[in-house]
Structure 1
């Protein structure tokens, strides 16, 4: 089966291949000789990345760096002010000295890598088009409706850890159902090498819908961009740091 983008004939067959594409980019690359990006992944010209935007000092963004350990120090109020300003001015900051050991981070990265290296038959056990599934392996945010897919595969795990006994008594007593619903999720993204990176994106421009996102960058492959004052800028990773992103819910609730 040749899924390369080669004229009208391939274009007319794209719909027939939708189910095949939903198996993920890695499966596509494992089973096919991909030399061109299939139409299902090609963005419109207006949405395509600026492939000429190279990583250099002129388009790098230096986000505020928040030292978590300093929140316990005598200058706590200064750090809190810096944190508030970072959220207001950028909506992002880089978090260091967060207390998560380097070997834990390394094992988390390794576990993610090993999952995506599993055979397709094993990975596909967790494939789901149900966006609310507690465990979901997929390739696009909404594979049922998305006209163009992202050039990525992901594994999403819903997490609901037991609440600490130290905090619930501080919560408002009314309404009674205030604390009944909430969620924490872990998402592992895998972005395979692309034969035509100027035509597609691993993740399109977006904002996160939750309160906060803690993002662990791959230090070996740069590619994360943040929009600041209308311009997309590259973010260079700091080893063992997290990029913290203010989500839509926190933005709305803090207005």
Structure 2
């Protein structure tokens, strides 16, 4: 199998730009994932983010997680558990309105650092969307505009730790799913692995590389590209030792953004719209209950909704 795509963004500024853009295109079309090096966020700053995230987990979350494990009797499970993830997690919202000031137990330095990290990731996400536009032959800014809605995009970070698990064969760190939104930027632990994606029917490890940002395509980009780019099933395997840190930042459409295949792509391929037209918030309501199932029935349900009049104010008719 071809090796996992790693993109050196420095090469976008020189003679290797065309070859690097081709690598990004191939990754989007055939993997749904790729890893960025030299992405513009300094290694020293990423080290600070990692240190503060791990300190926060040890101080504020580790004991709570251990108590949960004991209370549910998870140390001694005998059979596979399919409705639980072995992760300790909290969520930071950045856009349209930040909640960082309200999240309890965060020290001031950590709040400030995560605010700055989000600002840098937002910039990187928008730069990436423009690179994807270029590869797709869409006008610059097209994807950002589609994501915008009336209040701008939705952007947030899921801060996760995957502690050592006594029964990794019976409990997943995070069950297999595709991501509902637009583009995901992941800063993952470079010492403890666990993230895998499904490619050609096989689970493939996403290699942990120091100071890299892993990118993956969400369901909304699959719809907008009319299936040219695909969101891909992925999961986290729990490990018996080491605590894996994961900061997954989701750059998604605004809640009222209307999502549909880009007409330029549909016309060019002489291919009918393969995907429905819908409001992002409606898709998210559906996704909430079906996250760990395949995406195709979700698209079908949105298609049925699109073709059914009088379903209320957010239905597309």
Query: TM range, normalised to the smaller chain?
Result: 0.5 to 0.7
User: What's the CA shift string for 1:211-232, capped at 9, x where partnerless?
Assistant: 1111122111111111101111
CA contact (8 A) 2:90 2:159 kept: yes
User: What's the CA shift string for 1:27-53, capped at 9, x where partnerless?
Assistant: xxxxxxxxxxxxxxxxxxxxxxxxxxx
CA contact (8 A) 1:150 1:204 kept: yes
Q: CA deviation at 1:122?
A: 11
CA contact (8 A) 1:61 1:235 kept: no
Q: Distance in 1 between matches of 2:13 and 2:208?
A: 25
- Paired residue for 2:39? 98
CA contact (8 A) 1:61 1:233 kept: no
- Paired residue for 2:27? 86
Please show how residues 228-243 of structure 1 align to structure 2 within 5 Å.
228-243=199-214
Q: CA deviation at 1:123?
A: 7.7
Task: For residue 204 of structure 1, give the secondary structure of its aligned residue in structure 2.
Answer: strand
Q: Distance in 2 between matches of 1:184 and 1:81?
A: 28
Q: Distance in 1 between matches of 2:155 and 2:204?
A: 28
Q: CA deviation at 1:235?
A: 2.4
CA contact (8 A) 1:210 1:247 kept: yes
TM-score, normalised via structure 2 length: 0.47
CA contact (8 A) 2:191 2:208 kept: no
Which structure is higher in helix share? 2
Gaps of 5+ in 2: 66-81, 97-118, 124-129, 131-140, 227-317
Computing the radius of gyration from Cα coordinates, the structure with the larger value is 1
- Within the alignment, does 1:70 sit opposite 2:11 as a pair? yes
- Paired residue for 2:93? 158
| 1:158–1:61 CA distance, 2 compared to 1 (3 A) | farther
CA contact (8 A) 2:92 2:158 kept: yes
Question: Of residues 200, 219, 222 in structure 1, which corresponds to 2:190?
Answer: 219
Q: Which structure is richer in relative contact order (CA contacts within 8 A, separation 6 or more)?
A: 1
Question: Of residues 165, 175, 180 in structure 2, which corresponds to 1:194?
Answer: 165
After TM superposition, the structure 1 stretch with the greater mean CA deviation from structure 2, 154-163 or 200-209, is: 154-163
CA contact (8 A) 2:183 2:217 kept: yes
| 1:77–1:157 CA distance, 2 compared to 1 (3 A) | same
Task: For residue 216 of structure 1, give the secondary structure of its aligned residue in structure 2.
Answer: strand
Q: CA RMSD in A?
A: 3.4
| 1:178–1:187 CA distance, 2 compared to 1 (3 A) | closer
After TM superposition, the structure 1 stretch with the greater mean CA deviation from structure 2, 237-246 or 88-97, is: 237-246
Task: For residue 106 of structure 1, give the secondary structure of its aligned residue in structure 2.
Answer: helix
Q: Distance in 2 between matches of 1:151 and 1:222?
A: 14
Q: CA deviation at 1:119?
A: 3.9
User: What's the CA shift string for 1:127-154, capped at 9, x where partnerless?
Assistant: xxxxxxxxxxxxxxxxxxxx82211111
Please show how residues 52-63 of structure 1 align to structure 2 within 5 Å.
62-63=3-4
Task: For residue 171 of structure 2, give the secondary structure of its aligned residue in structure 1.
Answer: coil
- Paired residue for 2:223? 252
TM-score, normalised via structure 1 length: 0.58
